[in-house]
Amino acid sequence: MSNQYDGLNAGYSGPRVALPPDKYGNSASPALRVVSYIGARGTKDPDLTRHSLLVAGTNGVDGTAFLAIQLKKAWLTDEAISLAFNKGEPLPTTTAQNVATAKQFFVEDAVATLKRNNTPADQVTPALIESTYDKIMTRIRIDVGTIFRLQDWMGVERNPQVSLGTLVGADFSGEVEAGQPNKEGDPTSQVKSVYSRKQTRASA
């Protein structure tokens, strides 16, 4: 059912110049804000989706930067998170058997990644497969970890399964770097990292 507000532009309407590369805020004081969820697009990996969010400064510095989070559905499971964040120790919501099955899946995914990158078959050694597997775990820690850190800044429960649109409004600290020029040749900026929020101790 439509109403009088449906036709209004609710997107970010602030300055669209590139946010200067710099470190913004610290573990206790945020200086950046997620102002909108731009959308998602596919990559050359059919299972990998690149999500883009728009970030603006909150300390009086004009400009925006893009925050990219790349995800696969398989990365958001408790088994994947057990492998990437908990050294393979199963979270309470899963089992060691399920984690072992997930590890085999990611080893096979590492092999598929090497094939997708046209790695010659005689070069696909156990050491290279292990190295590629480790890189997948690193990607999970980076991208799922970004979701967790933004949720920490928002003061909400960590949940990797949420729509990334729920991160809009998150005030956080992080580092911004120069990005690739856009189609018009104008400079852009991108968020290189989201800092961890300082944990406050509960009152005794």
Q: What is the domain count for the chain?
A: 1
Q: Is residue 200 part of a domain?
A: no
- 118 torsion bin: left (phi>0), alpha (psi -120 to 50), beta (else): left
Confidence (pTM) = 0.88
Q: Is residue 88 part of a domain?
A: yes
Q: Is residue 38 part of a domain?
A: yes
Average pLDDT score over residue span 95-103: 98
The stretches of the chain forming alpha helices (DSSP H) are 78-85, 96-116, 126-154
Band (204; pLDDT cuts 50, 70, 90): very low
Q: Give the integer Cα–Cα distance in Å for 135 and 72.
A: 14
Q: Is residue 202 part of a domain?
A: no
pLDDT, position 163: 96
pLDDT, position 11: 53
161 or 15: which leads in pLDDT: 161
Domain of 45 in residue numbering reads as 22-193
Q: Is residue 14 part of a domain?
A: no
Average pLDDT score over residue span 102-121: 96
Cβ count within 10 A of residue 145 = 20
Residue 85, phi then psi, degrees to nearest 5: -110, -20
User: What confidence tens digit (pLDDT) does each residue in 119-136 have?
Assistant: 999 999 999 999 999 999
User: What confidence tens digit (pLDDT) does each residue in 44-64 have?
Assistant: 888 999 999 999 999 888 999
Cα separations (Å) of 140 from 14, 16, 84, 124, 187?
32, 30, 6, 22, 29
pLDDT, position 201: 59
Mean pLDDT of the chain: 92
Under 8 Å between Cβ of 124 and 70: no
Q: Is residue 3 part of a domain?
A: no
Structure tokens at 190: 């991108």
Band (202; pLDDT cuts 50, 70, 90): low
Q: Is residue 17 part of a domain?
A: no
Reply yes or no on whether the pLDDT at 3 is more than 70. no
pLDDT, position 1: 56
Cβ count within 10 A of residue 3 = 6
What residue has token string 């990334």? 164
